[in-house]
Structures are given as structure tokens and as C-alpha cells.
Structure 1
């Protein structure tokens, strides 16, 4: 079977105007994902990517979950399926696995197989959630193949075929005239470098990005989403004017607090000297509490705005 099918024609893609409820407050309020949108999850290793994907798989309002674990550690596969995904998530999920020890060709084919499965359900009019962990390991597998057949290495040793293959895979997600594939693709950034060549390339192809930071994970703040670095290109189409205004105001308060955090922590800031900083100090704890969420805490989408 040919796994490298073409992406939907641009003029047959339905416009994205409905929100995909993930059940994660930080995402649904600040970086909303539309049905058929493609988002990247950018982070270093060990900051909670897999747990966040499992939360979305078990709570998201998709008909089918396609989960591709590409280049992952073999130990983590059963852990993810049995512990993180849980019974509710497993009921509507198909898992494609190509572990790190498998040949590079198997890892690349695994990613395309998962996408072909998603397209099959999309053609039936289903609402599909496609999760791929991780695009970086897919790119590394293609780099191995490229170097083996004599391609010249370019940035960080990645071959030209890697950058040609990324849009061929990622553009296949999205909407068509029948159904949708909402895509969540994780990107492992080496040394937490957001300007890594794969991160840069993927960010330019996708419709938004969630950035998970080690600083928040070290503070036991999960999911470790940095709201100020994250962005959804479809937020204006998915949120009402009032919701945009409220999320923008909250972002503004978080940014002011972050800018003045050192002064506040050492006691150098005098209360009353700047009303905006005072407002950010008052709002910081409630906002951080709102953004923290554990696996069992799943509010209905509309309650986030109350």
C-alpha cells in the first residue's frame, strides 16, 4: 500500500471555525485548538509531553485517536498505553509503535502509516485526533536514511530530504470536505534550544505551538506550558471578542510579572509604585493555580471562562 498519499487540495479544505476541546485549561483558554488544526508541542526531554498527550487523548472530543510513538524507548510504550492513556483513552485509540531500536525505515514508515490510518477515518467523516511523539525522531530516522544513500549533510547533519519530507507528512493532517484530522506533533528540542533546525522548520509548517519549559516543570507546575511563548494562529477565529480580551489581559499580567519577577523576589519592588505591577502580583497566584492541572482534573470547556 502506498503510504505517501497527497494532502487534501487547498480549495477542498473546510475552514476551521470550531474549537477542539482538549480538557486542558491552559490550552483551551490561551491557545485554543480548532478541529482540523495542526499544533506542535515543543519541549526538552522529561518535562511532561507524554502525560499531556495522554490527557488530551482521554479527554479530547475526537471520534478516533491515532497515536504514533516514533523512536520512543521500548519501556515507555506499555507505560503510556496502560497507565497514561487509561481505559477511556484506549477505547477509541489506535497506537502505532516504532521504537528507537527499530531500523530507520521502519520509523519513517510508522509515521506515514499512522497518517494513512487517520486519513481513512477522515474519509468516513470522522473527527480524528492524530498524535505523533515525536517528529524529531522521525526527522532523525530520515537523516539516517539520507546519509546512508549519500545525501550531503546540512544544518546539524540533517539532509535535504528531511526538510522535503516534513511538509509532505504534516500537510496531510487538517480538514477536507468530509472529516478532519486534528494534529498534535511533539518536537524534542535539543538542549531546550527553540531555534533547533527541525523545531524551526516544523514551527513554520504548523498552525501554532505549545512550548513546555523545564523551569515550570522544576517548580512542579504541570502541564508545564509557557503561555507567553505559546501561540495558536487560529485563536481569533475560535474565541469570541470577550474571550480574546480576557485571555489577552491575563497574558499581559503574566508578562508584567515575569519582567519584574527578580525585583519582586528580592523585595526591591515597593508596592504602590506601579499599578500594573501591583495588579500582576495580585493576579499571579490565581492565574498559576488556574494553569496547573492534574490528570484527574477535567473541567467542562465553558467553565474555564467563569
Structure 2
């Protein structure tokens, strides 16, 4: 996978301008008639063309634009053409199975997509009257998620965690599970992805046979902040097209949403805006909402979104994290403490949650068992300091029983994944929700009290 350094030749322009100044990806341009904010521009250079996006009006004749390609060789006085519209990508069913960049051009060495129909990547959300509420559960086969923080079909889920706690692995396992369980289509938006990660994902998906029903869009880490900012919108545009044209179950994955926020912060600084809290851009809430509010289910189909979110310094009160949390239906918090104990997936069962975990939606039994498991794990956490200082023998008989069952439950909620089976040596497993509920019921009733903790660790269903 290579990063393109130039855009295709520019179409005939509607209005012409001249470059006034260039500072890295920032280009100031003078026009006789100002193009609107968000307009795409083309700057011809050495037989190719640089794509720019208008972000700011400086006065009656000058605009400030961000280039999506390297600006090496751009000089004052060069002509710039207005394309007459915002950034747009070619859409159609031939997008399936392809690896694309932010402008919808192939990165996989294949032929370009048919340009018969172009769709702007920055568009309004569907009218409220056309949307359908997301009220049903999407079982994933991942025990801890299905039990304690069930995903919402047609909803938005965030995977939160610091570096190295397993966000990408969990997202890839979910992508594989949904492709095999529901035969849906997947759109993956790599926002600020490392090139190594992009290569690995592409090859793994081709080898596993799910690439034919997926679209990958990458805005790589070494590219302009304008590319990283728009990559999520490009991926979402393809997801909306697939939802509205015969693919009822669309999975939209983004890794990493925090890099989208970072790209917006870079652009804001380049435009000279005064930073707001903790150095973030003053438009943080608007930018996050412009992406999240388009992830909706309509009568044509559902987009289920799963977004990895890096948590800086493991601080869940960070303004970017709280801005994202406000839009989500379910949040899966990955804990460094869990990972240090060898508990994978490293989901914090007490901090994670879902609005779907309600007896009216998941049923009385599921709700009761989830609550009982949380109570056991919470009680164990309360007693950890006492156990460390005095030993478990100093606890009451009831507390000793709760701690023993909580430790077994904690290990039961681990699970080997298929996407890392080659590295761990453990074959991946998928566990049905009904099986998970039955096993948890037996743990809570004491049916597995005679088992060692090792017998509950890294396995699928318990023996009947």
C-alpha cells in the first residue's frame, strides 16, 4: 500500500485564483469571487494536480485552504481552479473488496472506481422522519461484551483505552464475527493509521476471505492533517451508500477516532485559531457531532458503528473523550490493570456499559445475571486491599465465597480470539449469548465452585 503524492488532473475550473502564500499544508489564495467554506480546489503542478479544501475566508478576496497533498514546488502566483463543489468520491457497488484513499482512488493497485456517480463526503444527516431508532441487540459472540455492554444494532459503540490495551484486536475480532455471523458488509476507516497496520489488516482480510464484502479507506499517519480529518467522512459516505442500496447490515469501523480529533486540532492551529480547553480546537464539539450524527439507521438498512478511541494518559475526563462519549449507545472501556493481569479482552466490567442493558430490551434474565456478575466483581474490587494486607482467610465466609466466584467469573470472561490465534497458539472461539448466560448462572449458583481458576481461563463455553 503506497500513499499517493498527487491528485488526478483537474477538471475545468469555474473560478480562478492565484496563490498568495504557502506555509506547509496551508495555502492562501486570492479569488475575485470567493468559493464557499468546504469547497474543493485544484492547483495544477507539473502535469498533476494538488487538491485543496477551503477552511477560512480571510477577507473579501482571500481564502485559506488546507492541501491534501504535499505542497513541494508550489509557488506564489500559481493558478488555482475552483471545482464548483465540495470533496466528492466515486460510489457504486464496485467499491466492495477495494482499498481506497480519502478521494476514493485505489491503493491496492487495482483499476479506478467507476466515476459515473460522485457523492460529496461532507453532507447532512438524513431527515429525522426517515430514521429508525436503534433498539435491538447485536450479539457478537464475545462473552464479556454480550453480557455486560451489549452492542446496539444500528447504534454507535466506542472502544476506549490507552496505548497497547487491545483496541484494534478487539475491533478486528468484532469485524470478523459480524462478517461470518450476519453476512453483512464492512467499511473500515483507518484515520491516521500506521502503514504497517494497514498492510497487516489488508492481507489478513484477504486471507480470511472477508475482503470481498468490505471497503477499506485509509488516511495514513504520514499524510496531511486534511487527509486524516476527511478519511472518516469518506468511509462514512461509502457506508451510507451501501446502507441505502441493498445492504441492510452495514458495519462501520473507525480506528482511531481520536486521530480525527487530533487532525482537527492541527488544522485549527494552522488556521491561527485560539485553542480552547487542554489545547483542543474551539470547534471540537461541532466537528465530532458532524461525523457522529450521520451514523444512523433508516428504513433501507442499519449502520452499526464501532470506533476505537485512544484515551490520552488513560484520562477518561479528557475533553475529546467526553465529547465522543456523549454520542455513543455503548462504551467498552479497556483497562491497563486488566491487561496487566492477563485478562483479555481487557474490558473493565464496572466502567463499561450500554443503554441497551435494560430488562425491557434484553429481558429480565439477562439483566439480572449481568447485574449479579457486576455486583460480585465490584465486591471483589472493594476487598482487594484487605486481601492484599491481611489475606483472604481474614474475610467472612460469605465474602470468601463471593471473592472466589468473582475470580472465576473474571477468568471465565476472558476469551481467545481468532484474529490473534497465530500469535497465541489458542484457537479462537465464539460463544452464543444463551450459552454465556447459562454459564454465568452456574457460576453464581455455585455449580462451578469446585473448579480451579485455571480451568475457567481462556476458554469458550464451560463443560455441561
Q: TM-score, normalised by structure 1?
A: 0.94
- Gap runs ≥5 in structure 1: none
Q: Distance in 2 between matches of 1:156 and 1:115?
A: 28
CA-to-aligned-CA distance 1:36-79 (integer Å, 9 cap, x gap): 11011110011111110110000123511111111121111112
Paired residue secondary structure (1:68): strand
Deviation of the 1:252 alpha carbon: 0.5
Picking from 358, 363, 388, the partner of 1:265 is 388
Aligned residues: 305
Q: Where is the helix percentage greater, Structure 1 or Structure 2? A: 1
Which residue does 1:227 correspond to in 2?
A: 349
| Contact 1:55–1:85 (Cα < 8 Å) also in 2 | no
CA-to-aligned-CA distance 1:89-133 (integer Å, 9 cap, x gap): 434221111111110111111110000111011112521111101
| Contact 1:48–1:223 (Cα < 8 Å) also in 2 | yes
Which residue does 1:207 correspond to in 2?
A: 329
Deviation of the 1:139 alpha carbon: 0.6
Which residue does 1:11 correspond to in 2?
A: 129
- Tell me the C-alpha RMSD between the 2 structures: 1.8
| Contact 1:51–1:84 (Cα < 8 Å) also in 2 | no
Which residue does 2:15 correspond to in 1?
A: none
Deviation of the 1:271 alpha carbon: 5.6
- Gap runs ≥5 in structure 2: 1-87, 89-119, 418-427, 439-464
Trace 1:246-261 onto structure 2 (pairs within 5 A): 246-261=369-384
Picking from 3, 16, 20, the partner of 2:138 is 20
Q: Distance in 2 between matches of 1:45 and 1:302?
A: 33
Picking from 217, 238, 245, the partner of 2:368 is 245
Q: TM-score, normalised by structure 2?
A: 0.63
Which residue does 1:147 correspond to in 2?
A: 269
Q: Which one has the largest radius of gyration?
A: 2
The structure whose RCO (Cα within 8 Å, separation 6+) is larger is 1
Deviation of the 1:300 alpha carbon: 2.6
Deviation of the 1:8 alpha carbon: 2.7
Deviation of the 1:188 alpha carbon: 0.6
Q: Distance in 2 between matches of 1:287 and 1:82?
A: 36
Q: Distance in 2 between matches of 1:27 and 1:11?
A: 31
Q: Where is the strand percentage greater, Structure 1 or Structure 2? A: 2
Residue 92 (structure 1) aligned with residue 213 (structure 2): yes
Q: Distance in 2 between matches of 1:86 and 1:301?
A: 28
Residue 284 (structure 1) aligned with residue 406 (structure 2): yes
Q: Distance in 2 between matches of 1:85 and 1:279?
A: 48
Q: Distance in 2 between matches of 1:127 and 1:94?
A: 14
| Contact 1:20–1:35 (Cα < 8 Å) also in 2 | yes
Residue 301 (structure 1) aligned with residue 433 (structure 2): yes
Picking from 134, 137, 149, the partner of 1:31 is 149
Paired residue secondary structure (2:308): strand
Q: Distance in 1 between matches of 2:268 and 2:228?
A: 14
Paired residue secondary structure (1:235): coil
| Contact 2:265–2:281 (Cα < 8 Å) also in 1 | yes
